[in-house]
Amino acid sequence: KVQRVSEMEMRNNQTLICAPLMADTADQMVELMHKAKLKGADIVEIRLDHLNIFRPNVDIERLVRECPLPTLFTY
């Protein structure tokens, strides 16, 4: 389930914590997403350029589907 932060929610909370995530595999990235949420992150930045093996059609779909927080993708 992908959660979206509405514009109104962004305005009500002036400060959001963004956790940049870097991992070797998509599996590790999924694990880090959940850890970031548990530690209080409001949003995550997924650094696709750090994945050792990157399969865009498979990995992006999975990361979007499994991320418990709003997400930025950087490549």
pLDDT tens for residues 19-34?
A: 999 999 999 999 999 9
Mean predicted confidence (pLDDT) in 40-62: 94
Q: SS3 helix, strand, coil % of the chain, rounded to 5? A: 45, 15, 40
Picking from 12, 19, 75, 28, the residue whose alpha carbon sits closest to that of residue 49 is 75
pLDDT above 90 (res 1): no
pLDDT over 90 at 39, yes or no: yes
Region 40-52: mean pLDDT is: 95
**Mean pLDDT value across the chain:** 88
pTM above 0.85, yes or no: no
